[in-house]
Amino acid sequence: MVGGIFNPLLNSISTNAGWFFTLSVNIILLFVIYIMFSRYGEIRLGGDDAEPDFSTKSWFAMLFSAGMGIGLLFYGVAEPMFHFINPPIPVADQTEAAHQAMAFTFMHWGLHSWAVYALIALALAFFSFNKGQPLSIRTIFYPLLGERIHGAWGNLIDILATIATLFGVATSLGFGVQQINAGFSHLFGLEQNIGVQIVLIVIITAIATISVVRGLDAGIRKLSELNIRLAMLLLLFVFIAGPTMFILNGFTENIGYYLQKLTVISTWNETFENTSWQNSWTVFYWAWWIAWSPFVGMFIARVSRGRTIREFLMGVLCVPTLVTFLWMTVFGNTALFFEMFGGGGFAQAVTENIPLSLFLLLERLPLNGITSLLGVLVVISFFVTSSDSGSMVIDIITAGGNPDPPIPQRLFWAILEGVVAAALLVSGGLAALQSAVVATGLPFAIVLIVLCFSLKKGLNEYTGVQTFSVKAKKGKPKRFQIESSDIPPVIFKKKRQKKEDDNVQ
């Protein structure tokens, strides 16, 4: 019943608003790049004397784990295979199909996605750490609502954000537990069914709860660092045991082809093809990243105090993108090698069982049993980090922006996430909920576009830049920006005197 409501809504949004999603993410990427290289880049989040709360290594580990963890493991092998056997744009041969598969995969997981996270994370961090507003989603509406964000309107915004985050994380955990179940099935012959997945949710939620209770530094930070170590170990093994030279050649070639075709594929809307491929892929991804941006943005903002805006944006936009490209090349190119030069059949097997795709790849490499177990551990570690990161964000929102909410509240939300994920698995509602989460991406896309203007205004006010209008002799008034410190005091004196005279009259 729920799916009957949301699935048509998802199809309608994809068909009628796909162009808006495409336009929005491109505007956001250009805006973030502009801010990064502008004079605003010198602003330090938290004030001139603020120092980073975490080392650069820990910071990278936490933002990467929260932003992309389970998704990379779930789609790292599968997505290139899907695009290879079903090219979005018609191709002449397998070589072009492989190039296109990696280019679209890079686009979905690269600069555009991290730009969406960077925008809302920067806005939250700036208005909270530099403007003294609560570290909550309501904060990004301050330029529009002013002090009203502390009243009913702000409460409503936070409630909606809490619900979206809760069900969004639960949906992701549902996908993650399916992959863990597939890994145990591959290793030990354990059945893939709802009962096993619920047991796994209970066990892993318990681990995540312990992490949340221990706090950001003792729990989430250490788990995030463990994630990166395990993931890099798995990455290194596939790189060495797989087609190493094919991967090395492909890494540079994939990035070059992606950059060469970026303007084409990032603005492509299937206008002349009259197809609907993007509904299931590009539009879905843009809506997904936008819908998840409050959750990931809140977490990134929470751990980024003390960094300059330029350092922040370079870290959030560039470093995770390069690591993502490396991951997708190692796993995607290895999968393409098996399909193109290993006798074929691999892509078909992957598309028939996506949760099993990672383990199907490891099965073709040495030490299959050990590496498959490592793969399960990596999925579990990212699963736990996603759960406790989501719990921490909900804790902060529901505590009115308090960065260190009470322990009973942390326990409540961590446990509730597991309960919701299990309930959705039992009811078969994961697909319907995913559609609902994607549907929330449309209003959030509008919010993020407005946020670009609000953030620019806030940065101008913070740096003392004011916009003035000068009436020309002919034509419309001309607007320009000037440092307020450069304006002679006499101008303000004259303006105040004129206002006082008008009041007297």
What pLDDT digit, counting tens, does each position of 184-241 carry?
A: 888 888 888 888 888 988 888 887 777 666 655 555 667 667 777 888 899 999 999 9
388 falls within a domain? yes
Report residue 77's pLDDT band, with 50, 70 and 90 as the boundaries: very high
Alpha helix positions (H), 1-55: 2-37
Q: Does residue 227 sit in the same domain as residue 276?
A: yes
The predicted model gives 344-368 an average pLDDT of 90
CATH code: domain of residue 11: 1.20.1740
Of 183, 148, 225, which Cα lies nearest the Cα of 361? Answer: 183
Contact between residue 234 and residue 417 where contact means Cβ atoms under 8 Å apart: no
Q: Per-residue pLDDT for 499 more than 60?
A: no
* In a shared domain, residues 108 and 38: yes
Query: Are 296 and 405 found together in one domain?
Result: yes
Mean pLDDT rounded to a whole number for the chain: 82
346 & 481 share domain: no
> Do the Cβ atoms of 392 and 212 come closer than 8 Å?
yes
Statement to judge: residues 313 and 457 lie in one domain: yes
Give yes or no: residues 359 and 502 share one domain. no
Instruction: Give the side-chain half-sphere CA count within 13 A for 211.
Output: 26
Q: How many CB atoms lie within 10 A of CB 417?
A: 28
Residue 110 is assigned to a structural domain of this protein: yes
- Distance CA(312)–CA(249), nearest Å, equals 31
User: Quick check: is 479 in a domain?
Assistant: yes
Angle CA(130)–CA(54)–CA(464) in degrees, nearest 5?
Answer: 20
pLDDT at residue 385 in the model? 74
Instruction: Determine the 3-state secondary structure of 466 from DSSP.
Output: strand
Of 49-53, 132-136, 205-209, 426-430, the range with the lowest mean pLDDT is 426-430
Question: Which tops the pLDDT comparison, 299 or 366?
Answer: 366
Gap between the Cα atoms of 324 and 111, Å rounded: 10
Say what percent of the chain tops pLDDT 90: 33
- Side chain identity at 298, as an amino acid letter? M
Average pLDDT (478-495) is 44
471 and 459: one domain? no
Residues 437 and 494 in one domain: no
Residue 411 vs residue 286, higher pLDDT: 286
- The answer to the question of residue 112 being in a domain is yes
DSSP code at position 44 = B
Q: How many CA atoms lie within 13 A of 203 on its CB side?
A: 11
Q: Domain range holding 186?
A: 2-42+68-463
pLDDT at residue 311, as a whole number: 94
On whether residue 52 sits in a domain, the answer given is: no
Who wins on pLDDT, 343 or 281?
281
Give yes or no: residues 408 and 496 share one domain.
no
Model confidence band, residue 39 (pLDDT cutoffs 50, 70, 90): very high
Same domain, 452 and 499: no
Q: Is 253 found in the same domain as 231?
A: yes
Q: Does residue 53 lie within any of the structural domains?
A: no
Query: Distance between CA atoms of 387 and 380, rounded to whole angstroms?
Result: 10
Q: How many domains does the chain have?
A: 2
The pLDDT tens digits for 295-353 are: 788 888 888 999 999 999 999 998 889 989 999 999 999 999 999 998 878 999 998 88
In this structure, are 376 and 505 located in the same domain?
Answer: no
Q: What is the mean pLDDT of residues 161-189?
A: 81
- Asked if residue 504 has pLDDT above 80, the reply is no
Would you say residue 165 lies in a domain? yes
Give pLDDT tens digits for 97-151. Answer: 999 999 999 999 999 999 999 999 999 999 989 988 877 878 887 777 888 888 8
Amino acid symbol at 71: G
The answer to which of 47-61, 81-95, 165-179, 478-492 has the lowest mean pLDDT is 478-492
CA distance 199 to 172: 17
Cβ-count burial of 187 within 10 angstroms (0-12 exposed, 13-18 middle, 19+ buried)? Answer: middle
pLDDT score of 389: 72
In-domain check, residue 63:
no
